[in-house]
């Protein structure tokens, strides 16, 4: 009798501990989610005030002159991202094709290892590399060197995803194309890659989302500019860099603009991430069908 009572008490205690534990775990999950909502809330509330047409289309004004915007930074972001994407797609895709077609042996394994290494390299170290290769020899900062750094940051994700996407195209699809008399080249380019395309585009969107808010490598590559600049061989304003510069400036009007820029950046990143999710869902449905 006594033993059973103590066992009951013991079980009750264990249940209470369990309940508290689950409560603690729930609390931790909520803390994580709440942090996002709090940061998002601040950025929206503080940033919305700064957003207007001038902010999106004007050049920055000097300190003390009200108004002005980050139009040149938005333009610069598009130019630098465009060049980076144009360079990253062929290299990433070709390496992905190589790894998926000739995937065994020491050389592909070494290449995968290098790609994984690259994905862990801090962006500031990649900025130093871009500086050493494309800024120091020419003795001036340039938007192109920033594109180069962004390309390096985008590559690991592109390589890995395109390899997996091409690999996941059923073998029968490729064999069917070959059986119809297509060469390997045509089968890959016309049949296999288009089938893998939704997954590759997803990866591309995620890669762009990763670098669009990246600031560290820009400090000594794109450097920033006060003017409308569209020549990639010259220093260029970039939105993320403007947010950083304005945020650490002592002027309240600039700090307000930093919040506006942050809202634009976070909006762009979320749109890209959500787009990537939708794309992925479509890709999955396509594979099931």
Q: Which is nearer to other proteins, 72 or 115 (CB)?
A: 115
Q: State yes or no: residue 145 binds other proteins (CB under 8 A).
A: no
Q: State yes or no: residue 30 binds other proteins (CB under 8 A).
A: yes
Binding test (CB under 8 A) with other proteins, winner from 91, 197, 280, 287: 91
Q: State yes or no: residue 172 binds other proteins (CB under 8 A).
A: no
> Nearest distance from residue 62's CB to other proteins, in Å?
21
> Nearest distance from residue 104's CB to other proteins, in Å?
7
Could you tell me which stretch among 53-61, 71-79, 117-125, 191-199 binds other proteins (CB under 8 A)? 117-125
Q: State yes or no: residue 243 binds other proteins (CB under 8 A).
A: yes
Q: State yes or no: residue 29 binds other proteins (CB under 8 A).
A: yes
Binding test (CB under 8 A) with other proteins, winner from 70, 79, 83, 99: 99
Binding test (CB under 8 A) with other proteins, winner from 58, 197, 273, 280: 273
Binding test (CB under 8 A) with other proteins, winner from 6, 8, 42, 285: 42
Q: State yes or no: residue 112 binds other proteins (CB under 8 A).
A: yes
Asked if 170 and 286 touch (Cβ cutoff 8 Å), the reply is no
């Amino acid at each position: 009798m006594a033993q059973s009572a103590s066992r009951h008490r013991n079980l009750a205690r264990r249940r209470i501990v369990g309940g508290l534990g689950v409560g603690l775990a729930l609390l931790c999950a909520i803390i994580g989610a709440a942090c996002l909502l709090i940061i998002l809330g601040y950025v929206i509330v503080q940033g919305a005030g700064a957003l207007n047409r001038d902010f999106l289309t004007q050049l920055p004004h000097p300190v003390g002159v009200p108004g002005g915007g980050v139009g040149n930074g938005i333009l610069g972001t598009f130019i630098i991202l465009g060049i980076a994407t144009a360079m990253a797609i062929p290299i990433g895709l070709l390496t992905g094709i190589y790894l998926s077609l000739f995937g065994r042996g020491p050389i592909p394994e070494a290449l995968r290892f290098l790609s994984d290494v690259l994905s862990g390299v801090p962006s500031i170290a990649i900025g130093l590399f871009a500086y050493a290769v494309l800024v120091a020899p020419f003795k001036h900062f340039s938007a192109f060197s920033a594109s180069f750094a962004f390309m390096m940051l985008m590559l690991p994700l592109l390589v890995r995803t395109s390899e997996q996407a091409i690999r996941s195209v059923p073998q029968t699809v490729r064999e069917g194309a070959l059986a119809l008399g297509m060469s390997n080249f045509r089968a890959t380019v016309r049949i296999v890659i288009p089938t893998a395309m939704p997954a590759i585009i997803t990866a591309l969107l995620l890669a762009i989302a990763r670098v669009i808010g990246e600031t560290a490598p820009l400090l000594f590559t794109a450097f920033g500019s006060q003017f409308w600049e569209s020549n990639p061989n010259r220093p260029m304003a970039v939105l993320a860099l403007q947010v950083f510069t304005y945020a650490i400036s002592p002027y309240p009007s600039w700090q307000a603009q930093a919040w506006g820029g942050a809202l634009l950046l976070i909006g762009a990143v979320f749109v890209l991430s959500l787009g990537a999710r939708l794309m992925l869902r479509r890709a999955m449905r396509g594979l099931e069908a």
